[in-house]
A and B are shown apart, each in its own frame.
Chain A
Amino acid sequence: MKKPFFGLTRPKLAYSGIDDTGPDIQEIPVPERIFFSRQIKKGEGPTISRGQEVRTGQRLRPLEDMRVCVTATATGVIGDVSVETDYSGRTTLSMSIETEPKDRWDPEFEQAGISAQSEDVLSYLSALPGISDLIPLVRRENPLDTILVSGFDRDLLTATNQLSLKTGAANLARGIEVMKQMTGVNRVMVAAPPSLASEAERGGVEVRILNPLYPGADPRLLVRSILGTTVLPSRPLTDVNVGVVSAEGVIAMGRAFQDQRPPVSKLLTVIGKDNRPVAVRARIGTPVGHLLNTLHIEVSGGDRLVLGGPMAGKGIYSVDVPIGPDTDAVMVQDKDHVIPPSSEPCINCGECVRACPARVPVNMLIRLLENGLYEEAAQQYDLLSCIECGLCSYVCMMRIPIFHYIMLGKHELALSGYLEESHG
């Protein structure tokens, strides 16, 4: 990934497609242990205890607060359960399941006759891919205008969502129907790259084909290019009555109602040290280390482990971290390819300004952020317009960790209560 030889225009990074992973999906066997964690409110003790038997697909309510639900993604017994509060005041419930090799499916979903309109339908879907995008869209008293189903992947080298659409198009129409009933939204559109046009058509709703150029598949940019609406990125898209969900999530939902079993596994792209993506399917909660062992990817000290893709993924520091319902990719970067950030100053070359899809004046923004002037950065230089694509750091010839500074700025503003104030 080098700067192009001719550079009159801004860099164009194309998303990867299914051609890069190939159409095969490798099944990852159920690991010996599966992990879950949820952020919860402080002061609640777990009501679930070690040794309790669980079955695949069983809805667990591990706390007195009945709203916290976890889907057991394998059969076995509960291992450790703990509730811990970290230094920043966040309380996390963590639990594990010691699995059995053979799945016994829990019959509750089928027997309870869950439908899309059921009051507690979402509590059965806590392992649904992309669930965090879905929950805010369910506003029964005040439904949204439009939901976009995205057939794009959010990061480079990732083909998870595209592969889901390719292989699961049969369930797309059913998923869209379920989602319409669940959210009360009438207008649903599917956005997809040209290579998946025929699969997108099978949803039976309006289809928009877009060129897969990074970061055009970002939900906010999708909404801007398809619906022409924007909202300040620090506010949710639901403010303008629009929602974006992944095709993978919609298809998984369609399949869940077809099979009468809640989703328990997730498609994901594993990007090895050679930058070659491989598509796998694994149970939600599988530790990253188990994935890497199965695929014979060796990791050693100094390498980098990332949940997500190369542009906007999140760095992790242990192979025990489990994959979640929103983990689309796992990337391993060899230590020889790790590019350290620098503490050099900005030289005002303007590459970042020309690369920024949100038209943020990054050259000025970084000067304020480096000096901790976060409120001024938001007021004068559009800190809150950032859509977090990472292109500014990618093109910075001084290797300034601009994206990191931006996230720090946003974090500090959130802590100071500035966001609530300015949004009224």
Chain B
Amino acid sequence: MDNPTLFVSSHAPYWHNGARLSVKNCHIMIAALPAVIMGIYQYGAPALGVVALSVAAAMIWELLMNLVLRRPVSIGDGSAALTGLIFAMLLPATTPWWTVVLGAFLAIVVAKQIYGGIGCNPLNPALVAIAIIFLSWQGIVDFDEALADYDLGCVMAYPLTALKYFGTSAISDFSAADLLMGRHAGAIGATFGLGLLAGGIYLMLRGMIRWEISLSFLAGVFVTALLFYLADSQKYAGPLFHLLTGYTLIGAFFLATEDSSSPVNFIPMLIYGACAGILTVLIRNIGAFVDGTVFAILMMNVANPLIDKIRPKALGGGMKHA
């Protein structure tokens, strides 16, 4: 050939904004760190053990599934590590090792890989894992029981359990500042409200999570709790209590916003978030479970494909069919 220069030819566009999944997952993990570090500080080595084991187990399960299914190795994108981290954040520090490994299996293999891997899971993997563990071994994730040997120098009770079984009089011991600063019993990464808020706001500002989902979830929790509170303030706790206890904050910023199981259109995101928030409080106040966040978000995950059909008309009005 008289012109030996070989060019790389491909389809437009030739630029990219530089976004990567691994970078995004790194940012989400960094945003989760304040809450995790606080948990480790409070509960010591056992908490560190649970977090480390969960992240490692999730990554190993992912790698094993990659090998078994003969798919490209995908642990480099950080999503398995992130799932492991978030799952650990939902557990009490005393969780036995086999539960952590089993939970990581449920999250990565059952909830994600058998559906086809990343992007194909209809439900949030970490939530599936915690839901199955919760339904199967309630004692392990009963925070009062699990953390009975700990004394952090504050009221060592799980606020939502106290509310459920002892009424509003039992929660007067928890001030908003205590709840924000993690001075109460709970999961490793779910008690330090201020850290979760800081992480969530960071993620929303960076566009790493969809602010529509987080804010509508919090609004759903707030409004529903307020309505209950106004109806009977003796029986039901105030909205601020519901916002700062249980899995509410971690749910708003780290669970409900999982990409694959949440909507992408504007109005569906608001509906999804708000309904998850409403369901959370409904389950807490009149349902059977102490905390409703897990099942509320899972239920909205199931409804997601339907909700996400609400979308604006495309340019040209879409196709007309005879």
Complex formed: what's the CA distance from A303 to B9 in Å? 9
Dominant SS among interface residues on chain B: loop
- Give B296-322 as 1s and 0s: 1 = Cβ < 8 Å from A's Cβ atoms: 000000000000000111111111111
A1-B17, A232-B316, A422-B319 given; A348·B119 CB < 8 A: yes
User: What's the minimum C-beta distance from A421 to chain B, rounded to whole angstroms?
Assistant: 9
A6 and B14 contacting across the interface, CB-CB below 8 Å: no
Q: Is B164 an interface residue (CB 8 A)?
A: no
Which residue of chain A has the shortest Cβ distance to B262 in the bound complex?
A348
A379 and B319 contacting across the interface, CB-CB below 8 Å: yes
A303-B8, A316-B9, A350-B259 given; A397·B315 CB < 8 A: no
Dominant SS among interface residues on chain A: loop
Segment of B50-58, B204-212, B241-249, B281-289 in the binding face: B204-212
Q: Is B16 an interface residue (CB 8 A)?
A: yes
Segment of A24-32, A171-179, A338-346 in the binding face: A338-346
A315 and B12 contacting across the interface, CB-CB below 8 Å: yes
Q: Is A349 an interface residue (CB 8 A)?
A: yes
A361 and B319 contacting across the interface, CB-CB below 8 Å: no
User: What's the minimum C-beta distance from A263 to chain B, rounded to whole angstroms?
Assistant: 27
CB under 8 Å from chain B, chain A span 3-19: 3, 5-8, 11
A397 and B19 contacting across the interface, CB-CB below 8 Å: yes
User: What's the minimum C-beta distance from A160 to chain B, rounded to whole angstroms?
Assistant: 17
Our pick among B3, B17, B314, B322 for the contact of A382 (Cβ within 8 Å) is: B314
Which residues of A sit under 8 angstroms from B70, Cβ to Cβ?
none
Total count of chain A residues near the partner, CB < 8 A: 81
A224 and B13 contacting across the interface, CB-CB below 8 Å: no
User: What's the minimum C-beta distance from B271 to chain A, rounded to whole angstroms?
Assistant: 15
Complex formed: what's the CA distance from A197 to B29 in Å? 49
A304 and B319 contacting across the interface, CB-CB below 8 Å: no
Our pick among A1, A385, A397 for the contact of B15 (Cβ within 8 Å) is: A1
Q: Is B95 an interface residue (CB 8 A)?
A: no
Q: Is B116 an interface residue (CB 8 A)?
A: yes
Complex formed: what's the CA distance from A304 to B319 in Å? 36
Our pick among A3, A320, A387 for the contact of B19 (Cβ within 8 Å) is: A3
A347 and B17 contacting across the interface, CB-CB below 8 Å: no
Our pick among A305, A345, A363, A424 for the contact of B7 (Cβ within 8 Å) is: A305
Which residue of chain A has the shortest Cβ distance to B10 in the bound complex?
A315
Which residues of B sit under 8 angstroms from A196, Cβ to Cβ?
none
Our pick among B3, B21, B24, B205 for the contact of A318 (Cβ within 8 Å) is: B3
Our pick among A315, A350, A395 for the contact of B264 (Cβ within 8 Å) is: A350
Q: Is A233 an interface residue (CB 8 A)?
A: yes
Which residues of A sit under 8 angstroms from B198, Cβ to Cβ?
none
Complex formed: what's the CA distance from A175 to B19 in Å? 45
A230-B315, A331-B14 given; A8·B204 CB < 8 A: yes
Q: Is B167 an interface residue (CB 8 A)?
A: no
Question: Given A299-B5, A382-B314, 9 other A-B contacts at CB below 8 A?
Answer: A3-B18, A232-B315, A233-B315, A345-B116, A350-B259, A359-B312, A359-B315, A379-B319, A391-B13
A residues lining the B interface (CB < 8 Å):
1-3, 5-8, 11, 156, 220, 224, 230-235, 299-306, 308, 310-320, 331, 333, 335, 338-341, 344-351, 353-354, 357-361, 363, 378-379, 382, 384-385, 387, 390-391, 393-399, 401, 403-404, 407, 422, 424
What are 30 A-B interface contacts by the 8 Å CB criterion?
A2-B18, A5-B206, A6-B205, A8-B204, A8-B211, A11-B17, A230-B315, A230-B316, A234-B316, A302-B8, A304-B9, A306-B14, A310-B14, A310-B15, A311-B15, A315-B9, A315-B12, A316-B7, A331-B14, A345-B116, A345-B118, A347-B260, A350-B259, A358-B316, A359-B315, A363-B264, A384-B316, A385-B315, A395-B19, A397-B20
